[in-house]
Amino acid sequence: MHAKHLTWVVILLGACGRAPGPSPTSPIPTADAVGPETDVETLLAGLSVRDKIAQLVMPWIPGTYAAYDDDGFARAERWVDSLHVGGIIVSVGSPLDVAAKLNRLQRRSPLPLLVGSDFEGGTSLRLNGGTLLPPNMGVAATGSDSAAYDLGRITALEGRAVGVHLAFAPVADVNNNPANPIINTRAFGEDPAEVGRLVAAEVRGLREHGMLATAKHFPGHGDTGTDSHLALPVIASTWGRLDSVELVPFRAAIAAGVDVIMTAHIALPVIDPGEVRPGTVAPNILTGILRDSLGFRGMVVTDALNMAGVADAYGAEAGVRAFVAGADLLLQPADPRTAIDAMVRAVDRGEISADRLDRSVRRVLEAKRGLGLFLRRTVPLDSVPAVVGSAALQADAAAIAERSIVMVKDSGGVVHALPRSRPALTLVTYAEDEHRTVGAALASELRTQGFGVTVARLWPASGRASYDSAAALLGRGATAVFATADRPVAGRGTIGLPAAMTALIGRTARERPAVLVSLGNPYVIGGLPEVGSYLIGWRSNAVTERAVARALAGAAPITGRLPIALPPDYARGWGLQRRAP
């Protein structure tokens, strides 16, 4: 590890120790004053069966601000100081709000909490103010292992600064189904070996900067046409297909030392004979393939147990079924107390042995010891702004974003002519309602680069009047730029542009110079053969939008290459290259 990186890790791990909290409601061994030499076996022997089980349960909390006497936050405190849960998953919030919440819960917890968060593609998915990065597929478009490593490095530095220890990243799925409604740009690409190489690089970047890495979603969610948040996807893969495609990145992650692997709520009836059940509850997948065949010795974490892909079939017993199959950590059960009660009953009836339970709890306690949490479990709030979103990290992210831009086609030479002609532009954006700022940074940077820009914004709820208004604006401008932020959204179940938007883009491209820019789903070009100029920017955030604008203006080179094929014309590895003046 480089000296400057080691310094950051020391600063973050040496934050501040556990402050006195309330006495636990039942005796439980604590380790307030011990360091890395903590005797895990002694701790394990002193835990009751119920407290052992609780160490495996990780409920979800929002990261947004809440007063300490807020009902939701009080419930989280009860999970910690009464149920003795072993970990917490934290969601969207400001870095300071997240850190303050986690500090409070850590101080109340008898044993240090293992904190996880969904940091795929960087912390900005969960931390408002975290460094903005391209998604995994955009990182892959740079063709650089170092970009994937830096994705892990930046994520680890910012995550540890706010008190998160476990990143639910990287995504190790191979996205070889353009219609996949939930993976898409979350994956590095469609080539198993390339995905594996980049997964391994991100794992190293995370681990070498103090954060546990999670490869997900085992044994591979990339070839599904169903969102497992809504229903159970069924995949007809044979062992030969699974072994040569989906498992390749997981093998690479294991070779790189990945700490955790997350299960997928997908059914593989050919691999799991006679069963149509989630891999999360299939022993021959979690134990037979992951443990025995791949030799994984780290922790296995379920995907969220309140997702329809598993909850609809098993309800409160989902955690028991997953644990029996080979999981260690039970992620986001609908009700933590009910999940613990179900596990206790399973132990009482002999379905779960004492030895099997101890193996999983030992893995969790060893992970906490390795992270230094028995010595330091809270973080200094005044250090958060020094790390999260810092100028140095943002500069690194901007460089990655610039290298990620792919020019798929420019058959009419529209993009190549823009730096010379500087025409007036009409920018039409399309995005989900919650992304109302999409295109703002793109328009701003284009104006900085000397273009006159008029903007029209469209949303899923836009009606005919809105489309007519956009068409009228397009009729006045010399050159049209469309920026679409279609992206995979949990629970939506579909991906792709609405027919009205596709029709507007196609009609405009037939009538006047037009450029289509994807700030999300790269496959949108498939239904638009009329479009002659197509760029991919991968994500609708300010960093990537500025990179797109600079590319269009000729202020930056265009060097990205496709990590996927775009049927029928563009193979993986394709990308028109252009030097900057």
Is 277 inside any structural domain?
yes
- Residue 255: its pLDDT value, please? 98
Name the more confident of 432 and 472.
Answer: 472
Whether 412 and 383 share a structural domain? no
Whether 342 and 377 share a structural domain? yes
Q: Where residue 471 sits, what CATH number does that domain have?
A: 3.40.50.1700
Whether 283 and 226 share a structural domain? yes
Domain span at 494: 405-553
Q: Which distant-in-sequence residues (6+ apart) come within 8 Å of 118 by Cβ?
A: 89, 91, 125, 126, 168, 169
Give the type of residue at 187. Answer: A
- Residue 471: its pLDDT value, please? 97
- Please give the span between the terminal C-alpha atoms of the chain, in angstroms, as a whole number: 37
Is 420 inside any structural domain?
yes
The model's confidence at residue 7, banded by pLDDT at 50, 70 and 90, is very low
Whether 358 and 440 share a structural domain? no
On average, the pLDDT of the chain sits at 91
Q: Would you give the distance in Å from CA 477 to the centre of its chain?
A: 38
Whether 336 and 482 share a structural domain? no
Q: Which of 84, 217, 229, 265 is catalytic?
A: 229
303 noted as active-site residue: yes
With 90 as the cut, is the pLDDT of residue 467 above it? yes
**183 backbone dihedrals φ, ψ, rounded to 5°:** -100, -75
The model's confidence at residue 478, banded by pLDDT at 50, 70 and 90, is confident
Whether 158 and 62 share a structural domain? yes
- Residue 434: its pLDDT value, please? 54
2 noted as active-site residue: no
Whether 379 and 412 share a structural domain? no
Lowest pLDDT segment from 260-269, 403-412, 528-537: 260-269
Domain end residue (candidates: 343, 358, 387): 387
pLDDT tens digits, 226-258? 666 667 888 888 999 999 999 999 999 999 999
Whether 383 and 409 share a structural domain? no
Rounded to whole angstroms, how far apart are CA atoms 139 and 252? Answer: 18
- Residue 114: its pLDDT value, please? 98
Whether 523 and 452 share a structural domain? yes
Is 413 inside any structural domain?
yes
Question: Shortest CA distance to 374 belongs to which of 360, 364, 384?
Answer: 364
Lowest pLDDT segment from 15-19, 64-68, 316-320: 15-19
Is 577 inside any structural domain?
no
Domain end residue (candidates: 335, 360, 387): 387
pLDDT tens digits, 335-380? 999 999 999 999 999 999 999 999 999 999 999 999 999 999 999 9
pLDDT tens digits, 178-197? 888 788 999 999 999 999 99
pLDDT tens digits, 484-525? 998 876 656 667 899 999 999 999 999 999 999 999 999 999
Q: Which of 303, 396, 410, 486 is catalytic?
A: 303
With 70 as the cut, is the pLDDT of residue 29 above it? no
Whether 191 and 289 share a structural domain? yes
Whether 96 and 154 share a structural domain? yes
Question: Shortest CA distance to 98 belongs to which of 125, 123, 124, 63?
Answer: 63
- Residue 38: its pLDDT value, please? 73
Domains in the chain, number: 2
Q: Where residue 226 sits, what CATH number does that domain have?
A: 3.20.20.300
Is 410 inside any structural domain?
yes
H-run or E-run covering 281: none
Query: Which two tokens mark 385?
Result: 């702004």
Is 42 inside any structural domain?
no
With 50 as the cut, is the pLDDT of residue 33 above it? no
Is 580 inside any structural domain?
no
pLDDT tens digits, 293-333? 999 999 999 999 998 888 888 988 999 999 999 999 999 99
Name the more confident of 163 and 176.
Answer: 163
Q: Do 371 and 165 form a contact (C-beta atoms < 8 A)?
A: yes
- The mean pLDDT of 384-391, rounded to a whole number, is 98
H-run or E-run covering 117: strand 114-117
Is 37 inside any structural domain?
no
- The mean pLDDT of 114-129, rounded to a whole number, is 97
